[in-house]
Structures are given as C-alpha cells and as structure tokens.
C-alpha cells in the first residue's frame, strides 16, 4: 500500500490535546484527541500536568509514525500562549507549568510599571492591557522575585510551543508569535524587546529568536521529518485567512472569547482602545495584528441557561432555531421601548416565550460584539468581516451581526481545524511541491435582509 504524504500538527489546547494530519491539499485525513487531568502547583493552584503532557506528546507522535498508511513528511506544533516552561542546562523542567489564570501579586506588577513610566505608558508601549499572569513576561519576573534559587538554575525560559518542539528538535529558540501574545515583553513602538527586559536577568534566559517558518530535519523513530519550532495558537489560526485573502478583512474568531483580529491596521493602539480591552498580537511575519476581545461564550451560556431554566427547556433548545425576521423586529421593537442595561435585567415572565427571549439575548450580545469589532474599523477600509468558530454556525447570531454592519459584507467561514492548518501551512515549502489550494476556506455570505 502506498503511503499518503502528510504534515502532522500537534495542537495543544487547555482542554484538548490533538494531533492532526493534513494531506498535500490540506485536507484533514486523521485526527486524534486526548484530554488530561490538571495538576496543582506548589501553592495548590490548578495547572497543566507538565510531565503528563510531555509523555502524551511523545506517545502521540510515536503512535502516529507506526501507522503504515501515512508518510509523515513534516511536523509542527501550536499551543495556547501566556505559558512558560523553565528548563535547566540539561533540558529538564524546574517548575510546574504555571496557569495564566493564577492571581498575580499587585505590588510586583505595580513596581514594574512605576519603574518604566507608569502603567499607561507601559501598556501603550507593549500594546497590551494589564492582565496579571496573562502577561506572561511578568510570570518570569515573578519567578525571579519569589524563587531566586530556582531562577538561578534556569538555562532557558521557553514559550510552550517551543518547549514542545524542543522535545523533538533539541532547539532552544523563541518564536515571534509567542512573544507577541500580550506578554508585555515586546515594545510595539520600537519593534524589539521592551527596555525592562534588558534591565533584568530575564534577558539572559530568553532563547534566541528564530523565524516562525523555520524547520530542521529530525530523525524520529527512524524517519527523517522536517520539524518546525511551533506557533502561538491565535496567530496560527489567522494564517489560512492571510493565505486566502489579500484585501483587508477582520476575522472574528468565536468561542469562549470572541476575538476580532485586524492584520491590516498598523496604527498604534490608543489609551482609549487599550482601556476597552484592545491589544496587539504579532503575525508569523512579525507584523502587528490589532485585536479586540469580548467574553462572548460565557455571556451566551449564562443567558441560555437562564432562559432554559425559566421555561423548563433543555439548554440546547436554541440550536434548532433559524433566523426569523418577525421575531427580530418584535424583539428590536421591545428593546427600543425599554431601558434594560443587560439581559440579566430583562423580565422573562413579561416576554412569555423562549424564542423571543433568545432574540432579546442575541440583541444584547450583538450590541457588545459590534462595539468590540468596531474598535478595529477606525483606520483604513475593511470590506469583509469573516466569522469562524462556534458562533459562525449560529444563523441568528450571523444574520443579526450582518444587520449591524451596513458597510461590510459578513461571512461565516469554515476552516477545518484552522489553528492546526496554520501551523501546517508555514512548513509548506519544506515538504509540499504542490501549490497551496485556492479554496482552503469555505465561506457563506449573510447579506442584510432588513432595510434601514
């Protein structure tokens, strides 16, 4: 049997750890998912079980290589960000994989800001709001301040994608997409590490920068495989769109967070935008990507749960609903006559209908989502808004979003495993002699249906 040439990608999320195979047309031909139990750090705070993750990653790759139907030509990695692995000179981890949700000591953060012009200046230069441990550069500072004996043993502080890659390549490198994900390590006004990094010993443990599309040939269980250095997941998910569209667009990536991304706006963030939860990422090419965030998933879930409980329905009651112009107009008219600030203050007894209640909920979500996305429409012309993730398959969300943007065309996009595909695409030149297919993204237009 002739083996199918493929590129393999390990996609490490907080919940699911996946390995996927793409053929030369970037179609998913194999997928395997594992879930892992969390561990706790020395303070009892939940964190990734680093030993289990390391073993799982190695085992998944080994099992895949043993499969006779595939010829693995290339291997890459993408993981969640804001996470460092601290290794000693022998490559051994020295600490747990600390959780980016762990509360951060305010006095340490405030002192750093005070030493470098104050918080407003600092967040403007690093293009990231003050997010505590989510600013992962501050995690390194915390290790130095609170555990100096451990810090003195650190040979390298590796971002999680590069740690995973290093298990196979042995490379100790840094990737720009990991540095550029709200770490507060990068000065977006200067295009280099922020001056605070050079003023501390942290600069000595950051591995040298390597191009995001760099790969080396590695012998893994007897097979020579082009192996990449890994990417931050949000930046990786944008790559299929950058490959497919040349005209300016905004991508709204939906899920727990709804993250609007504009890779075509190079105007620096203002204090006002930073105060409204805007930030910048870095593309794999090193260019900034302006982003705005909205906590869409939990807001939707809380509203749905409230409706389901009130009307004694299953929590998935809304999934069979399609857009209905009558309900849209009725719900819009009701909201125009009331002064509800949010969905929690809406009287469901007065509405009397789960369908109408859901439309009211969606009006609020769209109101907040539109406000978030419009923060990225202030500079330049954007004609397309593309939506991927779970809400791209919600016809009510999509149609109401289209109604709220009169100047843009709104599309639901479908990219099978966009994050993993992005990590696969950056290695294209190493293993795939064919052209990248022009139709790796399926899109469905949602034209406005209601005048005005």
Q: Is the pLDDT of residue 452 over 70?
A: no
Rounded to the nearest integer, the mean pLDDT of the chain is 94
The domain 4-229 having CATH identifier 3.90.180.10: the answer here is: no
Q: Categorize the per-residue pLDDT at 263 as very low, low, confident or very high, splitting at 50, 70 and 90.
A: very high
% of residues, the chain, pLDDT over 70: 99
Look at 58-62, 66-70, 118-122 and tell me which has the smallest mean pLDDT: 66-70
pLDDT, average across residues 54-77: 94
* pLDDT tens-place string over residues 121-138: 999 999 999 999 999 999
Q: Is the pLDDT of residue 321 over 90?
A: yes
CA dist., res. 426 & res. 332, Å (int): 45
Q: Categorize the per-residue pLDDT at 341 as very low, low, confident or very high, splitting at 50, 70 and 90.
A: confident
pLDDT of residue 24: 97
Domains 4-229 and 232-452 share a fold: yes
What DSSP string runs through 281-336? EE-TTS-EEEEEEE-HHHHHHHHHHHHHHHHT--TTGGGG----HHHHHHHHHHHH
pLDDT of residue 338: 86
Q: Categorize the per-residue pLDDT at 139 as very low, low, confident or very high, splitting at 50, 70 and 90.
A: very high
DSSP state of 134: G
pLDDT of residue 394: 97
Which residues in 111-248 belong to E strands, given as ranges?
Answer: 156-159, 174-175, 186-187, 192-193, 209-210, 215-220, 223-228, 231-232
pLDDT of residue 206: 97
pLDDT of residue 225: 97
Contacts of 160 (CB under 8 A, 6+ apart): 12, 79, 80, 81, 83, 84, 85, 97, 178
pLDDT of residue 415: 84
- CATH homologous superfamily for the domain 232-452: ATPase, nucleotide binding domain (3.30.420.40)
Give φ, ψ of 54 to 5 degrees. -60, -45
CA dist., res. 33 & res. 27, Å (int): 17
pLDDT of residue 234: 86
pTM, two decimal places: 0.88
pLDDT, average across residues 80-106: 96
- Asked if residue 70 lies in contact with residue 4, where contact means CB atoms within 8 angstroms, the answer is yes
Q: Is the pLDDT of residue 416 over 70?
A: yes
More confident residue, 159 or 234: 159
Domain boundaries, the chain: 4-229, 232-452
pLDDT, average across residues 280-286: 92
pLDDT of residue 227: 98
């Amino acid at each position: 049997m002739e083996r199918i040439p493929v590129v393999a990608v390990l996609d490490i999320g907080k919940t699911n750890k996946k390995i996927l195979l793409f053929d030369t047309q970037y179609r998913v031909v194999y997928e395997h998912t594992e879930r892992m139990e969390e561990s706790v750090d020395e303070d009892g705070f939940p964190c990734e079980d680093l030993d289990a993750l390391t073993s799982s990653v190695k085992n998944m790759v080994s099992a895949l290589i043993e499969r006779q139907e595939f010829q693995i030509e290339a291997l890459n990695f993408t993981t969640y960000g804001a996470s460092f692995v601290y290794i000693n000179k022998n490559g051994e981890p020295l600490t747990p994989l600390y959780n980016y949700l762990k509360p951060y000591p305010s006095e340490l953060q405030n002192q750093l800001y005070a030493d470098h012009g104050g918080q407003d200046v600092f967040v403007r230069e690093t293009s990231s709001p003050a997010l505590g441990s989510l600013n992962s550069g501050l995690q390194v500072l915390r290790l130095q301040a609170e555990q100096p004996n451990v810090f003195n043993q650190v040979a390298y502080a590796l971002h999680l994608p590069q740690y995973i890659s290093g298990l196979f390549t042995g490379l100790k490198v840094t990737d720009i997409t990991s540095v550029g994900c709200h770490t507060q390590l990068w000065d977006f006004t200067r295009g280099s590490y922020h001056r605070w990094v050079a003023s501390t010993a942290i600069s000595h443990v950051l591995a040298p920068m390597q191009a995001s599309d760099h790969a080396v040939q590695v012998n893994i269980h007897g097979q020579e495989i082009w192996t990449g250095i890994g990417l931050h997941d949000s930046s990786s998910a944008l790559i299929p769109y950058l490959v497919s569209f040349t005209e300016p667009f905004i991508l709204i990536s939906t899920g727990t967070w709804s993250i609007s991304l504009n890779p075509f706006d190079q105007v620096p963030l203002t204090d006002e935008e930073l105060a409204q939860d805007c930030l910048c990422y870095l593309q794999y090419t090193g260019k900034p990507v302006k982003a705005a965030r909205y906590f869409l998933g939990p807001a939707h879930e809380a509203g749905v749960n409230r409706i389901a409980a009130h009307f004694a329905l299953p929590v998935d009651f809304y999934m069979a609903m399609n857009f209905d112009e009558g309900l849209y107009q009725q719900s819009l008219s009701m909201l125009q006559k009331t002064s509800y600030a949010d969905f929690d203050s809406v009287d469901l007894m007065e509405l009397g209908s789960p369908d109408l209640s859901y439309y009211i909920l969606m009006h609020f979500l769209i109101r907040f989502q539109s406000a978030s996305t419009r923060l990225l429409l202030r500079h330049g012309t954007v004609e397309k808004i593309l939506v991927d993730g779970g809400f791209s398959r919600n016809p009510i969300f999509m149609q109401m979003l289209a109604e709220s943007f009169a100047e843009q065309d709104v599309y639901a996009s479908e990219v099978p495993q966009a994050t993993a595909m992005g990590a696969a695409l950056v290695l294209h030149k190493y293993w795939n002699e064919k052209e990248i297919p022009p139709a790796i993204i399926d899109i469905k237009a949602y034209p406005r249906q209601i005048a005005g």
